[in-house]
Chains A and B, each alone.
Chain A
Amino acid sequence: MNRVDAYLIPALDGVAYGLLLFVVAAGLVLSFGVAGILNLAHGTLYAIGAYVAATLSDGSWLALLLALVAGVAATTAGGAALSGMLAPVPRGDHLTQALLTFGVALAGGSVLVMAFGAENLPVRVPATVDRPVDLAGHAYAGYRLVFIAVAAALALALHAVVTRTRAGMLVRAALDDPDMVACLGVSPARVRLGVLAASGALAGTAGVLGAPIIGPGPGTAATVLLLSLVVVVLGGHSGRSSVAGTLLAALAVGEIQTLGVALAPTAAPFLLFAAMAAVLAARSHGLIRRWSPA
């Protein structure tokens, strides 16, 4: 009994972590799958959200709300600015996109360190949930439960948007066939702007709300970027599977990073490797059997 309970906490942590990664990765899938942009500054946008949360939150819900509004506004603007910067780069030129967005990530990270220092900043959680909750005889951080609920609601909302709205339909169509977007008469510049702004908003939301889980610090942007990239690669990015696949992949990565580490502490980085290898191998096997023409 005790052994199972001992792993309940990390497992729950994995859900929280996974949902957090889902929101972040959803932004990457959006910008990559719809606008064909590999945005290496995505992690930096998360970090901005987290730093805003660290600065503004003082233990009250109002402060959290304020941080959310300010953080999302900042990262949405950041996404829009990135869109402008990427305007002269041809759509298919992923290498230049990578170099450009990496440069922004480097410079942005340096600015953040200059502004906030090189330490990991603590984040204050609203006082009413800043206490352990009794869960099957174990104490669990109240905020994390709230976060799980909020993030799950966000995931449902995203799913609804993608499946039921016109914009969502365009997104799914574009994920299936990016060239089609041009034929729909929507200007590519506007698509890029919308997609990067939305993606920035998602990163900012995740950053502000998730700061107590992955907090602001000099290594945050890189960690978040790496993990969300793994989620994107594992989850696939075709229209059919976008939300569900990303969610599953995010939860898997979240569990590996928490439960996996608890179960096998020394093997942690290799677990992620192994998971990537297994998924990609299985998918390529399916590829060979399905025989998609190159």
Chain B
Amino acid sequence: MRWLIAPALLAAVAAPWLADPYTTATLARILVLGLVAVSVALLTGVAGLPTLGQTAPFAAGAYAAATLALHSSSVGVTQLLMGASVGAAFAALTVPLVVYARGVVVLMITLAIGELVVTAASRWRSVTGGTDGLAGMPSPRPLWGLPVLDTDRARYLYALAVVGIVLCAVVLLLRGPSGMYLRGCRDDEARMRASGHPVGAYLAIAYVAAGAIAGVAGSLLVTTQQYLSPADFGFDVAALLLLGVVIGGAGSVVGAIAGTAVVLAARDWLSGLLPGRGPLLLGALFITAAYVLPRFRFRLRRVVA
């Protein structure tokens, strides 16, 4: 599949000149969700912690970056750092909930965390604007001294650059010992311990890193969508991301982006087919995917608790 990367990259860079602004904005959103999917793949496929809750640090980073954008800084890098830190901090706070469980219990716990965050976002009007959400975030300048990103094309390219950099960093890191340690924890945790490795610490680090990645995506969401609401972080988004990761090959972070693009494109196409019947067709998509996809061979280890 390697040979697809170069043409895909080319197409990705050329896209904003070939497509209209609306499509460009849509593609930017796909990139943003693709980055969240990268964090899902890191946990689910590499570390063996299947998650339906990466929407939580995604939301945390997004609202934090939005607050920053609305009240003080309009510099992209600052917003990115804000998103990353808040996403990581949120993950660090919820690590004790997640890291002692294994397998499908992690799915349940992360699902609950994600949903509770959405509920909190809907109620915490003073910070998040409640169900009305936050709007009117001004377009940022990527760096001090650079021009403001005031076109869809500019915002798209910015998102593409950020996603590209983060993705490269993750891929390079996973090629080295860190990736092996995480895969070792996934494949045989007892063996890791018998070799002296602190499994809990490794998984916690991976979880916090995934939170940071999702937080960066959150700040990108603010830049590209310029509007936030709790609906952006609902459970259906988490499920779509999981589907995208599974389609892309669970252990592959690059595949996660491609898989997410496929899933989102399918969703938009389906809602266009029969307006108003979106969820029905989406449900059918999930069911079909469950049957058609090559069987996901990972056996989730049984829960320790």
A interface residues (Cβ-Cβ under 8 A, vs B): 32, 36, 38, 85, 88-90, 92-96, 98-100, 102-111, 114, 178, 222, 226, 229-230, 232-233, 236, 266, 268-270, 272-273, 276-277, 280-281, 283-284, 287, 292-294
Contacts and interface: CB of A to CB of B under 8 A. Distances in A.
The DSSP consensus for interface residues of chain A is helix
B119 interface: yes
Contacts of B300: 92, 94-95
Interface stretch (B1-9, B59-67, B106-114): B106-114
Contacts of B111: 226, 229
A107 B107 contact: no
A273 B283 contact: no
A98 B280 contact: no
Contacts of A277: 94, 96-97
Contacts of A232: 108
Contacts of A229: 108, 111-112
A280 B295 CA distance: 32
Interface string B293-305: 1011011101011
Contacts of A36: 104
Given A95-B300, A103-B283, A277-B96, 19 more contacts: A85-B287, A93-B295, A93-B296, A93-B298, A93-B299, A96-B246, A96-B295, A99-B242, A103-B289, A104-B287, A107-B279, A109-B279, A229-B111, A230-B112, A232-B108, A273-B120, A280-B101, A280-B109, A294-B199
B100 A90 contact: no
Contacts of B279: 106-107, 109-110
A111 B111 CA distance: 24
A98 B52 contact: yes
Given A230-B112, A233-B112, A100 B286 contact: yes
**B contacts with A: majority SS:** helix
A108 B96 CA distance: 35
18 contacts: A95-B44, A98-B107, A99-B289, A99-B290, A100-B287, A100-B291, A104-B283, A109-B279, A109-B283, A110-B280, A236-B305, A268-B123, A269-B116, A269-B120, A273-B113, A273-B116, A284-B100, A294-B102
Contacts of B284: 103, 107
Contacts of B150: none
A91 to B, nearest CB: 9
A266 B242 CA distance: 31
A266 B101 CA distance: 30
Contacts of A104: 283, 287
A270 B109 contact: no
Nearest to B185: A294
Shortest 4 CB-CB distances between A and B: which pairs? A103-B286, A107-B283, A106-B283, A284-B100
B239 A102 contact: yes
Contacts of B290: 89, 96, 99-100, 103
A276 B283 contact: no
A99 B243 contact: yes
Contacts of A236: 305
Contacts of A105: 283
Contacts of A283: 100, 305
B285 interface: yes
A292 B107 CA distance: 21
Contacts of B199: 294
A94 B107 contact: yes
